[in-house]
């Protein structure tokens, strides 16, 4: 299937996977989602996913 026949979400997934990224699902405390939303709202990150990925990357790099 070419990208022209894909839905928008399939194209998005295809693009991210082509960039070497993988999707994961995680559960976090409700209070943390509130803090993530504040970071997004302030413009520090485009979305929760970007904020969580940045925090995880920092954690791994500091180890």
Nearest residue to 56 (alpha-carbon basis) of 32, 42, 38, 43: 32
* 1 lies in some domain: no
Query: 61 in a domain, yes or no?
Result: yes
In a domain, 63, yes or no: yes
pTM reported for the whole predicted model: 0.75
Q: Is residue 12 part of a domain?
A: no
Question: Does residue 62 form part of some domain?
Answer: yes
- Residue 3 domain flag: no
Summarised one tens digit per residue, pLDDT across range 36-47 is 999 999 999 999
How far is 4 from 33, CA to CA, in rounded Å?
A: 35
Whether residue 9 lies inside any domain: the answer is: no
Binning pLDDT at 50, 70 and 90, where does residue 1 land?
low
Domain interval for residue 40: 22-63
pLDDT in tens, 6-47: 999 999 999 999 999 999 999 999 999 999 999 999 999 999
Number of domains in the chain: 1
């Amino acid at each position: 299937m070419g990208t022209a026949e894909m839905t928008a979400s399939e194209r998005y997934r295809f693009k991210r996977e082509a960039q070497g990224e993988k999707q994961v699902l995680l559960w976090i405390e409700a209070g943390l989602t509130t803090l993530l939303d504040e970071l997004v709202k302030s413009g520090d990150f485009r979305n929760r996913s970007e904020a969580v990925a940045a925090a995880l990357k920092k954690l791994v790099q500091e180890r």
